[in-house]
Amino acid sequence: MSKKSRISWLLVAPLLVLVTVGFLLPIGYTMVKAVENPEVTAALPRTAAVLDTWDGEGMPPEAAFDALVEDIRSSRSGLEFGAMTRRLNFELNGSRSVIMKTRRTVDALDAPYSESLPVEIAEWGDPEFWRLIKTNSNPVTASYLLRALDLQVTPGGSIERVPADRAIFLDLFMRTFWISIWVTVICAFLAYPTAYYISTLSDRAASYAMLLVLVPFWTSILVRTTAWFILLQTEGPVNMALVWSSIIDEPIQLIFTRFAVYVAMVHVLLPFQILPLYSVMKRQGPQYLRAAASLGAPPWRQFLSVYLPLTLPGVAAGAAMVFMLSVGFYVTPALVGGLQDQMVSYYIAFFTNQSINFGMVAALSLLLLVFTGAIILIAHRLIPNVGGAIRA
Amino acid sequence: MTRIATKVFAWIVLAFLVAPLLAIFPLSFSSGTILTLPVPGYSLQWYEEFFLNDRWLDATRNSFIVGTATMVLATLLGTTAAYGLNMSNFRGKQIVLVLLSMPMVVPLIVTAASMFLAFSAVGLANTLWGLVIAHTIIATPYVVITVLASLQTFDPNLMRGALSLGAPPVTAFREVVLPMILPGVAAGAIFAFATSFDELVIAIFITGPGEFTLPRQMFAGLREFLSPTIAAAAVIMILLSFVLLFVSEAVRRRGEKLVARRANQ
C-alpha cells in the first residue's frame, strides 16, 4: 500500500469506526434480535434440556415433568420468568395463565408429577403444549418474522395465516406503501408546475420564491407537523375559516384523519421534490423548445416530447427521495393521524415503548429495511445516480 | 392562459408551504388559552410560560448541549474523513463510501429502533452521550459531502508547495487547506447542528425525561395537552432555523466569492 493510501485510511478510520460500532453493529444486533429465542431456555433450562431429547411424539418422559417442576420451583429471577411467559403467550394466547397457575400449584404437588400435574392443570396432559415449549427452547425462531407477515407456525410445524382478527401487518405494509405512493404522486404533481414557474423567473425573483421553499425545508419536521396539528383542530383556524366562509355549516373532523396525514406529509416532503426539479429546470436552455416550435410542434407537443423527457430525471430524483422518506415516516402520521392511518414505523415504536416486544421491533425493522433496500435497488436500476450516496 | 394558470398554481403551492408557519406566529402571541384565529388579543404570556418553566428550559439546554457536541464531533470526524477520501484512490474506497452513506439511506425509524436495542444493552440509552453518538452518526455524512464538494475545487499543488517549503503536515493543513475549504466545513458544521437540534425520532427512542431535548419535549407536550406554549416553542424553533439558514447562506456566498477570486487569479 502506498504511503498516500495509508494516510487516507488513517484519516477515514475514526469515522469508519464510529459508524461501524454505533450504527452497523446495532443494525446487525437488531437482525439477530429478529430471530433470537432465548427466553424459554433461560427460565426453564432443565426442561429445555430434557425436551431436547424428546422426539415430540405422544407424551414427554417422566423426566420432563420432574425438570419442569424443579425449574418452576427454583425460578428466582422474576424477570426471566416474566420474559418466558410473555414469549409463550406470544406464540399461544393463554399460555401465560397456564404457567402462572402452574407456579401457584407446583409447591403442593406430589410425585409422580406426570400424574398429579395434568390433574391440576389440564394443558400439561396435552402433548401440544409440551411441543410448544420444545419448539421454543430452540435458540432460533422465525416466529417474529412470520408474524410480521401475518403468518404463524402451527404446533404441528406447518405455516399458516393467523386468524383474521389478529392479521394486521400485511395491511400495515400495504398501507405504508400506498400512503407513500400517494404522497409521492401528489408532491410531484404540485412541485412540477411550481418549480417550472420559479425557473422562468428572473434570478432575483427566483431567489425570493426559493426562499419560500427553503424556509419550510429548514424548519424541523416536528415544527411543521405541530403547525398542522394546531391548524387542523376541530376548533382550529382551518375549521373556523371554512365555517366563516359558509363552505361548511359546522366544524368537521380534520385532525386524526387520513386527510390530515396526506396534507402534513405532503407539506413536509414537498421541498424535497421542488429542489431537484428546480435545479434540473434551471439548466434547460430555451433552444430545444425553440427547435421544436420551429419544426411546427404545438405547445402541448413541445412539452410532451421535449420538455418533459428533459426534466424527468429531476422528477425521478425527487420522487425517489420523497418515497424513501415517507416509507419510514413516524412523527407526522403519529401526531396528526388516527389509529387507522398509522404506518409500519408506528408499530415499531409501539412494540418498543408500550407493548414491550423487542422481537417484533426487530422483525418489523428488518422487513422495513429490506423493503426500502428493494426500492433503492429498483430506483437505481431505473435511474442511475439516484439517492443520497456520497460520491468521491 | 396556461402561463397564468401555472403562475396562480405555483403561488398557491408556495403559499401552502409558508402559510402554516406564518399562522403559528400570531397564535403564539395570543392572550387567549385556545389556539384559534383570529386571536382575542396579544400577550407574551406563552413565552413567559416557556422561559419560566424548568421542563422547557432543561429541554432547550439539553438541545444546545447535544447540538454543540454533535457539531464538534461531526465536523472533526467528517472533515478528516473527507480529506482522506479526497487524497487518494485507496483500495476499498468504494466500500467505505457505501458504508459511510448508510446512515442517510436507512429509514430513521430503523436506525432509531436499532440504536435503542443496542444502546440499552450497553447502558448508553437514556444518556446525553448516547444521543450525541447517535446524532453524530446521522449528521456526519452531510459534513463529508459538503467538505468533499469544497475539496474538489482545491488545488492539491498548494498543499504540496507548503510541504516542500518545510511546513509540518498539520500546519500546512491548517494554514493552506483549511482557509480554502472553510466555507464547506462551516456549512457542514451548521448542518450538523441543525440536524441534531431538529432530530426527534432517535430522541423518542433513546432518551428518558431527564434527557428530553426541545423537540422531544414538544412531542410530549403535543400528546399530553395542547397548550399555546407549544406554539411559542415552535416559533422559537422557526426563528432558530431562520438564523441557521441565513448563516449558512452567508457562508455559501463567502465560499462562492473565494472561488471566484481564485478563478480570477
pLDDT digits (tens, 9 = 90+) for A176-229: 999 999 999 999 999 999 999 999 998 899 989 998 998 888 888 999 999 999
Say how many C-beta atoms besides its own lie within 10 A of residue B129's C-beta. 12
Residue B239 near chain A (CB below 8 Å):
no
* Across A7-16, A62-71, A331-340, least confident range: A62-71
State the pLDDT confidence band at A385, using cuts at 50, 70 and 90: low
Q: What is the pLDDT of residue A223?
A: 92
Encode pLDDT of B41-59 as tens digits.
777 878 888 888 888 899 9
Confidence of residue A308 (pLDDT cuts 50, 70, 90): confident
Q: With beta carbons under 8 A apart, name residues in chain A contacting B200.
A: 220-222, 331
* Mean pLDDT computed over A272-299: 86
- Three cell numbers, residue A192: 412540477
User: pLDDT by residue (tens digit) across B79-134?
Assistant: 999 999 988 888 888 899 889 988 988 999 999 999 999 999 898 888 899 999 99
State the count of interchain CB pairs (< 8 A) between A and B: 280
A213 in contact with B at a CB cutoff of 8 Å? Answer: yes
Q: In the prediction, which pLDDT does A389 show?
A: 53
pLDDT of residue B265: 57
Residues (pLDDT < 70) of chain B are: 34-37, 258-265
pLDDT over 90 for what percent of chain A?
A: 35
Answer whether B36 touches A (CB < 8 Å). yes
| Domains, in order of start, for chain B | 1-43 (no CATH), 53-264 (1.10.3720.10)
Integer Cα distance of B101 and A54 in angstroms: 49
The residue among B110, B132, B148, B253 with the most chain A CBs within 10 A of its CB, best to mutate, is B110
Q: Indicate the domain borders of chain A.
A: 39-139, 169-382
Could you tell me the CATH superfamily of domain A169-382?
A: MetI-like (1.10.3720.10)
CB B131 within 8 A of CB B215: no
- Sign of the CA dihedral running A259, A265, A268, A273: negative
A229 and chain B: CB distance < 8 Å anywhere? Answer: yes
Q: What is the mean pLDDT of chain A?
A: 87
Residue of B nearest to A209 (CA): B14
pLDDT at B263: 59
**Binning pLDDT at 50, 70 and 90, where does residue A298 land?**
confident
Residue B42 β-bridge partners: B30
- Euclidean distance between CA atoms A114 and A128, whole angstroms: 15
Rounded (5°) CA angle A278-B190-A209: 30
CB-CB neighbors (< 8 A) of B205 in chain A: 349, 352
Identify the pLDDT of residue B181.
85
Q: What is the gyration radius of the CA atoms in chain B, in angstroms?
A: 23
pLDDT tens-digit profile of A318-362?
998 899 899 989 999 999 999 899 999 999 999 998 888 899 999
Taking the CA of residue A197 and the nearest CA in chain B, the distance in Å comes to 6
Q: What is the rounded distance in angstroms from the CA atom of residue B189 to the CA atom of residue B64?
A: 14
